[in-house]
Chain A
Amino acid sequence: AQSVTQLGSHVSVSEGALVLLRCNYSSSVPPYLFWYVQYPNQGLQLLLKYTTGATLVKGINGFEAEFKKSETSFHLTKPSAHMSDAAEYFCAVSEDGGTSYGKLTFGQGTILTVHP
């Protein structure tokens, strides 16, 4: 069975500071990993995803994430936070095959606050 743990339900940074949102996963087969962002009163929007190949993945709005198989991690980073980055972020894992075919399993979410 697949699962996702996001460390820290709330993260607060200053504008211009590094953003680091942590995600660890568990999967019985090679995983597909995603980060989604949710702005207030909106649906989820894909930030980036890892399927195969290069382990450092770049997404929209300057975000990137690195797949580390040995650490079962997929942390999200952005070098310099902007006020518009304030939102809730969800890490998710998906698999092909077995009973989890195509299913997205989400972490608990991390609310990012950006201070001026």
Chain B
Amino acid sequence: EAQVTQNPRYLITVTGKKLTVTCSQNMNHEYMSWYRQDPGLGLRQIYYSMNVEVTDKGDVPEGYKVSRKEKRNFPLILESPSPNQTSLYFCASSIRTGSMQAFFGQGTRLTVV
């Protein structure tokens, strides 16, 4: 079954404690991205990757890091989380063209206290 898998689904952490949210896809997609969803703002892109070892900033990259060492994995790293990073996070993957649909993970609800 084609899918994007994120872990964990729910996470509560304290300010400043480094965390990683994992994302894996089994569709051999080149393009992967991370979004955060906040009420009234829709989804905003944090980082994206066009292929292995190729990553770039999206619209709201501050406070986040990513890596793409393998085609299937695209982890999101928060080196020093702050309360304003409390949000719902989605990983997505697609074939490398704008006309193709993106497949989304189930989401990770992060709370930073």
- Chain A positions within 8 Å of B, measured between CB atoms, are 4, 6, 9, 32, 34, 36, 41-46, 49, 51-52, 90, 94-96, 100-109
For the complex of A and B, the 5 pairs showing the least CB-CB separation, nearest first, are A43-B104, A94-B98, A106-B42, A96-B98, A51-B99
Which residues of B from 6 to 22 have beta carbons under 8 Å from A?
none
A101 to B98, Cβ gap below 8 A? yes
Say whether B48 faces chain A, with CB atoms less than 8 Å apart: yes
Query: Counting CB contacts under 8 A, is B102 at the interface?
Result: yes
- Does chain A have a CB within 8 A of B41? yes
B81 interface residue (CB < 8 Å to A) = no
CA distance A46 to B105 in the complex (A): 12
Which residue in B43, B96, B105, B107 is a CB contact (below 8 Å) of A102? B96
Contact B48 A103, beta carbon cutoff 8 Å: yes
Contacts of A105 in B (CB 8 A): 45
Is there a chain A Cβ closer than 8 Å to B66's Cβ? Answer: no
Q: In the complex, what residue of chain A is closest to B106 when comparing beta carbons?
A: A43
**Which residue from chain B places its CB closest to the CB of A111 in the assembled complex?**
B39
Besides the contacts A43-B104, A43-B106, A103-B98, what 8 more A-B pairs have beta carbons closer than 8 Å?
A9-B40, A36-B104, A44-B102, A94-B98, A104-B33, A104-B45, A104-B102, A106-B35
Query: CB distance B44 to A34 under 8 Å?
Result: no
CA distance A103 to B94 in the complex (A): 10
Name the one of A45, A46, A100, A108 contacting B41, with C-beta atoms under 8 angstroms.
A108
Cross-chain contact of A42 among B40, B41, B94, B107 (Cβ < 8 A): B107
Cβ of A43 and Cβ of B105 under 8 Å apart? yes
Q: Across the interface, do A106 and B98 meet the contact criterion of CB distance under 8 Å?
A: no
